Structure 1
Amino acid sequence: MQRNLLEELKRVLAEDKRLVIDDKLVKNKIVELGLKLDEKLLNLLLSNDRLREHFFQKVNDTFVFDTQKFQRFISNKQFLPDSYTVFKNKIGLSNGDEYLSDSKDVTLAWAYKDCVLEGGQTEEEAKREEIFWNETLAPDQIDRLLDPKVFTNFTFFDNDGEQDVNEITEKNNLVIKGNNLLALHSLRKSYTGKVKLIYIDPPYNTRGAANTFAYNNTFNHSSWLTFMKNRLEVAKHLLRENGIFAVSIDHAELFYLGVMLDEIYGRENRMGVAAVVHNPGGRQDDNFFPTAHENMLFYAKDINRAELNTLGMSEEKLAEFRYKDEYGRYKLRGFRRSGSNSKKEERPGLYYPLYYNPDSQRLKIKKEKDNDIEILPIDTNGIERCWRWGPETLIKKKDKYIEVKKTGDSFSIYIKERESDYEGEKPKTIWDKSKYSGQTGTHELKSLFDDKVFSYPKSPHLIADVLKITTDVGDLVLDFFGGSGTTGSVAHKMGRQYIICEQMDYVESVTLKRLNKAIEGDETGISDDYDWKGGGSFIFTEMQKFNEQFINLIQNADTQEELLNIWNKMTENAFLSYRIDTTDFDDRADEFQKLSLDDQKKILLEILDKNQLYVNYSEMDNNDFEVSESDKQLNHQFYNISG
């Protein structure tokens, strides 16, 4: 019995393992590869006589793929139907015979590279389905989505506690609660070209317990890259011309993130990749190589303008300076050169005799007394070499920097390399201080909160070294994955200005409290290293929600009765998609109630106008949004920061 065309197409497509997950065809992937004219997919379709005849046109001796016909066929509700799509098609989310995904006046919002993923998670453990991201938005609508937003709930924190905010200047430290993509676009107006360092520790898209992509653990690889790309592109505009971008990442997305950053910053602006040993014992639940390190990628906005400071003295390096005199600690280095370019014939100006008097312990360049002993730069093999300094430099520095020691029957000359003159170590590609471990970060939070309030916090000592090599006192640091506030806390103690963005609800229970403890002068973290005594201030604010509040209600609903109540509130107060006829929806209430709870949520989420998730600054005077006069004044100040 011959299969119908639909069955034949499904059978053939199932031969391509890229199109199958859990033994089911993935419609979105089929659409993606069809639009890309994927060679393997086209060859698969061409190999079947019926499919070739239906989806290709023969021009002379060449078969031309009818993309439009294929997409229309794939988008038909009979292809991989479910109760959700059937109901959606009935209530007006299609336009005649053409589905929204086929409409030529819209583009996919995020699913692939040229799209936008807002990522609206607010609770770390919720791992909700971000249905919005599968919808389509027109380019002008995307511009509107990314317009600067209204900020509200301004609060000033210092040693006197919480206070009202009367003024915002470019010198304020800021903590912003809200979606970081929209926050970054809001920061562009006032902070373009002002940030010295962007450091982020984004959610990792790895497998198992180490996955910190808590927005939705079902996001796939391409979605994670799009999520990151949207944010990295706008963040680059905020960097100064000599600014530096740094990101921590594990192995799962390392290669792909690196290629993406090469594209955004230019491969020539890649400064380096450091391996940070955060778990010296290795993660023993790994199947093959126990993971002992993460990676940190450094990029310059302009490699010709970027500079790195040196690190301070490590404990190992400090131990080398084991001698001490009236000038301080020092270590010894031979005054006679060795190795390449050290022979007399190569540097004749540095070959000369020195004279040492053992009684007076004086070193001279001329013999003055009979018991002055001549010392020449000749090694134990009799090879004539040379000194490190010329005679004039030696006379100038010898009292503070030269030491003579007796070795057997002869005397050797040494340079005193002083700790006070040491500028510090250049950061290497392996960072392996014991204080960099993840346990150090967890220990600090436990000491502050008497509990484990955050998963996988970064060590404050690691962040301190990142800030030390990339910034100076007073520089502006941005972290738009603020997390538990490690970057903000360290920047606060090191005298850097900072902007922290975090959309999770723990920003108020963890991040703000941690920064307040820094103001109070807590004795944890890097306090001992930087002699922190407390002080300073910051301003907290959040983006004013509109439709986003309904998304949160929908996602948190547990019953169908709750969803119907939310629907009634939406019809009264929310901005709904212009493609939705509420009367049509109400007429089909019985069908709606037959859907699963998850499918009901999908429907209500699609009905909301996603360009009204937050209140736009340009629409702040609209009475529907109920923005207070004090908030209007502070928003005007924020968006008119100059300098």
Structure 2
Amino acid sequence: MGKSKYSHFSREQLEAKLEKLERERYGLVWEDKEENVAKQCETELPVLIEDVTREIVCDPEKPYNFIIEGDNYHSLYTLNFTHKKKIDVIYIDPPYNTGNKSWKYNNNYVDKEDNYRHSKWLSFMSKRLRLARQLLSNRGILICAIDDNEFAGLKLLCDMIFKEQNRLGTLVVVHNPRGRNDDKFFASQHEYLLVYAKNIDNANIADFNLEEKDKTQYNKNDGISFYAETSFIRTGNNSKRSERPNLYYPIFFNEETNKLSLTKHNSQWEELLPLDSKGEEKCWRWGKETFLQLKDTELFVKKVNGKNRIYKKRRLKEETGKRPKTVWYDAKYDASSNGIMLLKKIFGTDNSFNYPKSLFAVKDIIQITSKPNSLILDFFAGSGTTGHAVMELNKEDGGNRQFILCTNNENNICEEVTFPRIKKVIEGYADKGGMPANVKYFRQSFVPNVASDKDKRELVNRSTELLCMAENTFEMCVKRNSKSDFAIFKNATKQTAIIYDEESIKKCVKKLNEKQEELDTVIYVFSYDHTYEADDFENLNISFTVKPIPEAILNVYRKISKMYKK
């Protein structure tokens, strides 16, 4: 008999393992598979390098959007330093694990014959979702697209990471109305969107904007506005007399004068009660006081099956939107027409990307989960649909949403599909006008894990992009040079000073005093540990915050490492 995989465990480790299994009697358990990209972070630390040849600036006053080329695990690692608790919406479309060699694990395609196919996928997703959750703001929402291959496992995994009570809903999107003809039993038409909140108490799902076809029902006009008819009898929850007794009362109608009243003045006034078609007692939509205020302009009576019925005018100006439903069935969600064919229109060629999402499916889910100034992340960015959708929404409502797109460059997808699509959408394509936006393009790079003072200096020297992204300050005011080993960057409201060598502190302080910018100021200063000398900055005549580096970065990376060793 071979050795057990637990034979090297200490008594304390075995007890901890048993305790964990006892806690997880109900839930999701899988054989965790080590992943090379995660193991790499034990010896190397991810940083970012900007490709300045791909920078796009349309309006210097507007914020930047980011494209990050590299494995999304490493991108999420760096974003945990730059954007922890800053992301409002995460939309992802991960590999569906169909078994058709559509995704790689440790550089090898995973097929249907792999006995650990589902375990590998869950290990892959678990690492990334745990990192992603830490990026969400307190009102943040995660949306994950998936099909039947991993729907059940992903739902349990998200219940575990985000907590079941924070699940906002499961949506069905009909993305292939024709159905898949190669399915053996049922021609699949749909996929799912799993929607979770960081904290359900802070979550908000907006209504859909009304489209022109929705407005056609408002086809009557009384001189005040267009309106649609709806019964004055309440329906749905709290519609019974026993539930809202104060809303059950007689209303009197005079057919000759076409007037409504709470008083029966004579025999010409007919009593009307809130009874449904079966004669069951319901209640009115308003109480008596509101009825008296609005009856002459907002209510009317018409005959239905020979009986007088009271109707309310539902005015167009009252209807700002419509509640999203759990099944999305609309031609605009067709991934062929508004995904594949749209990419063909953008690039003017076929086969630029397999299985892109419908632009409208992504646009609609972002519209109802975001606000006009939200920050949206997609760490399975693929063809860049999420960035396209964000720019479309900003154009429609004047918003300032920003996007961060993360994707690897397998088959040159980031360089030849993701970035070019975003560039074409900004500049305009075919018969579509442009949508001005600013973009910075970064690539993942690595420095040795810190084991010496030399390594600390190497990390600081390579951290400029990380620090500028964390503070969202990219306009260079003072350039680093051999005589002054510091740099200063700013935006409209903030400036960031980076002091790469402690010998340059006095020069940096002098420069900041000369500039006298009335901006929030963050100073990153090199230090061998987590401290700095407060006296070094006592002559600085502006308000400021000091953060020692590389400790500010290392502290975040250490926490991630500890999280995965638990």
TM value normalised by structure 1: 0.59
Residue-pair matches, total: 433
What do residues 422-445 of structure 1 show as CA deviations (whole Å, max 9, x unaligned)?
243333332222211211211211
Pair 1:115-2:34 in alignment: yes
Q: Is the 8 A contact 2:89 2:375 kept in 1?
A: yes
Cα offset, 1:257, TM superposition: 1.9
Match of 1:16 in 2: none
Partner of 1:205: 97
Residue in 2 aligned with 1:51? none
Which residue of 2 is the match for residue 494 of structure 1? 393
* Equivalent residue in structure 2 for 1:619, among 458, 464, 467: 458
Q: 1:508 aligns with which of 404, 411, 415?
A: 415
Q: Which residue matches 2:377?
A: 478
Which secondary structure does the structure 2 equivalent of 1:217 belong to? strand
C-alpha distance 387-455 of structure 1, shift in aligned 2 (>3 A):
same
Q: Is 1:638 aligned to residue 545 of structure 2?
A: no
Specify which of 346, 362, 368 is matched with residue 448 of structure 1.
346
Indicate which of 224, 228, 253 corresponds to 1:355.
Answer: 253
| Alpha carbons 1:198, 1:246 under 8 Å: kept | yes
SS at match of 1:488: helix
Is residue 376 from structure 1 mapped to residue 272 from structure 2 by the alignment? yes
The higher radius of gyration belongs to 1
Partners in 2 of 1:385 and 1:273 — Cα distance?
32
- Aligned positions of 1:198-347 closer than 5 A: 198-208=90-100, 211=102, 216-218=108-110, 220=114, 221=117, 222-313=119-210, 317-337=214-234, 342-343=240-241, 347=245
* Structure 1: 5+ residue stretches without partners: 1-8, 10-29, 38-64, 69-110, 120-136, 161-166, 547-608
- Conservation of the 8 A alpha-carbon contact between 1:180 and 1:502: yes
> Which residue of 1 is the match for residue 295 of structure 2?
398
Checking the alignment, whether the CA contact within 8 Å between 1:310 and 1:426 is kept in structure 2 is yes
Q: Does the CA contact (< 8 Å) of 2:62 and 2:438 recur in 1?
A: no
Cα deviation digits, residues 192-240 of structure 1 (max 9, x gap): 000011110011211348x455964236412222222221111111101
Matched letter for residue 538 of structure 1: V
Residues 170 and 235 of structure 1: is their aligned pair in 2 closer, same or farther, counting only changes over 3 Å? farther
**What is the correspondence of 1:554-569 to structure 2 with a 5 Å cutoff?**
none
Contact 2:137 2:198 in 1 (8 A): yes
| Amino acid across the alignment from 1:376 | L
Q: Which amino acid is the alignment partner of residue 150 of structure 1?
A: L
Aligned equivalents of 1:400 and 1:523: distance in 2? 49
Aligned position for 1:588: none
Residue 404 (structure 1) shift: 2.4
Of the three residues 436, 449, 467, the one matched with 1:535 is: 436
Contact conserved, 2:251 with 2:261, CA < 8 A, in 1? no
CA gap of 1:327–1:512, structure 2 versus 1, over 3 A, is farther
Which SS does the other structure have where 2:332 is aligned?
helix
Deviation at 1:398, TM superposition (A): 3.0
Give the distance between the partners of 1:351 and 1:331, measured in 2 at CA.
25
| CA gap 1:231/1:343 in 2 versus in 1, 3 angstroms | closer
Which residue of 84, 93, 108 maps to 1:192?
84
Which of 318, 324, 338 lines up with 1:427 in the alignment?
324
Structure having the larger proportion of residues in strand: 2
Distance 1:366 1:347, change over 3 A: same
Q: What is the Cα-based RMSD across aligned positions, in Å?
A: 3.9
Kept after mapping to 2: 8 A contact 1:159/1:520: no
- Deviation (angstroms), 1:473: 0.6
Tell me which residue corresponds to 1:457. 356
Which residue of structure 2 lines up, in the alignment, with residue 176 of structure 1? Answer: 68
Query: Higher mean Cα deviation, 301-310 or 340-349?
Result: 340-349
Residue deviations 1:574-621 (CA, integer Å, cap 9, x gap): xxxxxxxxxxxxxxxxxxxxxxxxxxxxxxxxxxx999xxxx996256
TM-score normalized by the length of structure 2:
0.66
- Superposed CA offset, 1:245-304 (max 9, x none): 111111112222222222222222222222221112221112222221112111221222
Q: Which amino acid aligns with 1:518?
A: V
Q: CA deviation at 1:489?
A: 0.8
Contact 1:35–1:67 (CA under 8 A) maintained in structure 2: no
Take 1:181 and 1:383, find their aligned partners in 2: how far apart are those partners? 60
- Whole-Å Cα distance in 2 between the matches of residues 385 and 432 of structure 1? 33
The structural deviation recorded for 1:176 is 1.1
Runs of 5+ in structure 2 lacking a partner?
A: 11-29, 395-400, 473-493, 495-519, 521-566
More helix per residue? 1
Name whichever of 294-303 and 184-193 sits farther off.
Answer: 294-303
Letter of the 1:149 counterpart: V
**Does residue 519 of the first structure (1) align with residue 519 of the second (2)?**
no
Q: AA paired with 1:377?
A: L
Q: Deviations over 1:616-639 (max 9, x none)?
A: 9962567xxxx7xxxx65444234
Q: Cα deviations across residues 434-458 of structure 1 (Å, max 9, x unaligned)? A: 2112112112111111223111000
CA spacing shift, 1:514–1:426, aligned 2, 3 Å: same
Aligned letter for 1:176? I
Amino acid at match of 1:516: K
Q: Which amino acid aligns with 2:250?
A: Y
